Structure 1
Amino acid sequence: MLLITAPSKTQHPEVREDKISTIPLLLDKTQQLIARLQQMSYQELAGLLKTSDRLRRSTIAKINAFSLPFTQKNSCPAIFTFKGDSYDAITPHSYSTEELAYCQDHLLILSGLYGLLRPLDLMQSYRLEMGAKLEISGYSNLYQFWKKEVTAELDRLVAGHREKTVVNLASAEYAKVIDTGQLGSAFITIVFRQHHDGRIKTIPIHAKRARGQMIHFAITNRIEAPEKLKEFNSDGYVYSQADSSPASWVFIRQGKSA
């Protein structure tokens, strides 16, 4: 079983020289992207990034400072870099050696710059959404640029697991990069909903937090079988058989309203 999730815009890399780390699997394509971005004018990058001037200048500085090879002095493992709502519940500093090993083998982070990252893959912080309309190497956007390689790598990795299932805990924006029809495994999307204004609906901020909580639940229990995820009950969420299907598992937050 593999869990996939989205990255976070909030990134605070730590200098860590005491931990095992790995190199991103698709770094060659990342280099292509960086080269393309470094060729763009300020005006072109402004149109692509759509951020405040302060963030834009910071992002451009990171693009220009990107350097190889990755080391533990100029880079940081992904799981120790990403912060924010989806990552608040993921606490790598508290994980045992066995839990970090599980995390490395069972979690993948989709990324506009790196394609996908394992938790201990070294990375340099960036800001590039998967939905960015960047033309590169004959592709009109990053979905086209990444789809084949990300899907193939995901398929290769899940094939090494006893339970050949991909559990999707990513946002729709990022999950779109995967060609599920080319996967030789089951693909299950986890949906989090709650009561709001007399209806049951997904509240994005709460869904983000719940995704991180489920990832933490899987890591600390070292879950191998997807069915065990149905036992997840953090923050009042309960699996709803009536609202679920084989490809979409729905968890409803009990007794909560936004």
Structure 2
Amino acid sequence: MKIIIAPAKKMVIDQDSFPIRSMPDFLDKTQILWDFLKSRDYAQLKDIWRANDKIVKENQLRLQNEDLKKQLTPAIFAYSGLQYQYIGAGVLEQEGLDYLQENLRVVSGLYGLLRPFDGIIPYRLEMQNKLVGFRDYSLYHFWNDRLYQAIYQEDEVVINLASKEYSRLFTPYIKENQQFITIEFLEEKHGKWRQSATHAKMARGAMVRFMAQNQVTNIHELQAFNDFGYHFDEESSTSNKYVFKKEVEVN
């Protein structure tokens, strides 16, 4: 079983807490993207990243000064968004960390697929960024089916906790004999079931933590997850979609 999650925009450097265990598998492809970004001037980078001046300047400096093979942080600690806070890798037992290294994969526009303890540096590149002037018209075209092929070479069951932006790297290629189970977290508000982006990120992180702590190896074990008031809803779920629902009190 493999679990995929999206990266986070916010990143930190932490070379002290845990050592890296491995290097990213697609580092040669990452270097191509890095070199392209490095060749862009300020205005071109601003157009690619669609970010404010502070973020563009900060990340342009990274492009000029940092090396993809030096001063690395394990991926699971490099990302610091809500989802990663609720995974809480820093306080997991060793068997939980080993479980993550074996089963969890971060889908990245720059790095492709990352194991939790692959060494990376802070960067800015999202799947929907348009790389004007690059050899490929989009990152989806650049990565093509490489990430799909890589993950299904290891396993026939993938738990999808990534956003649509990142799961799109897999969904066009799934074959009938392969399981790609998307997890949805829904809340009832004013009689309608909807996803809260913030709460979904928290729940995704908590589910990864639940799987690591309980050493989950069977998809049916996921149905026991009940953090933040979410409960598995069998009626709304299918063989390729697990739906977790909770009722929200509205004043």
Whether the TM-score (by the shorter chain) exceeds 0.5 is yes
Query: Equivalent residue for 1:198?
Result: 191
Letter in 2 for 1:2: K
Range that drifts further, 128-137 or 138-147? 128-137
Residue pair 1:113, 1:128 contacting (<8 A) in 2 also: yes
Query: Equivalent residue for 2:101?
Result: 104
| Structure 1 residue 20: Cα displacement | 4.6
| Structure 1 residue 252: Cα displacement | 0.3
Residue pair 1:239, 1:250 contacting (<8 A) in 2 also: yes
Letter in 2 for 1:152: Q
Measure the CA separation in 2 of the matches of 1:166 and 1:257.
35
Query: Equivalent residue for 1:52?
Result: 52
TM-score (norm 2): 0.94
| Structure 1 residue 136: Cα displacement | 6.8
**1:251 partner SS:** strand
Query: Equivalent residue for 2:76?
Result: 79
Structure 1 position 145 matched with structure 2 position 167: no
Measure the CA separation in 2 of the matches of 1:208 and 1:18.
24
Residue pair 1:190, 1:248 contacting (<8 A) in 2 also: yes
| Structure 1 residue 151: Cα displacement | 1.2
Query: Equivalent residue for 2:222?
Result: 229
Q: How many residues align?
A: 250
% identity of equivalent residues: 32
| Structure 1 residue 244: Cα displacement | 1.1
Residue pair 1:33, 1:136 contacting (<8 A) in 2 also: no
Measure the CA separation in 2 of the matches of 1:250 and 1:4.
17
| Structure 1 residue 69: Cα displacement | 2.7
Residue pair 2:36, 2:134 contacting (<8 A) in 1 also: no
Query: Equivalent residue for 1:30?
Result: 30
**1:89 partner SS:** helix
| Structure 1 residue 223: Cα displacement | 0.4
Map 1:1-258 to 2 at 5 A. Answer: 1-16=1-16, 19-70=19-70, 74-135=71-132, 138-158=135-155, 164-182=156-174, 185-256=178-249
Measure the CA separation in 1 of the matches of 2:14 and 2:202.
22
Residue pair 1:147, 1:179 contacting (<8 A) in 2 also: no
Residue pair 2:48, 2:132 contacting (<8 A) in 1 also: no
Structure 1 unaligned spans of 5+ = 159-163
**2:180 partner SS:** strand
Root-mean-square deviation (Å) = 1.8
Runs of 4+ in 1 over 4 A off after TM superposition: 255-258
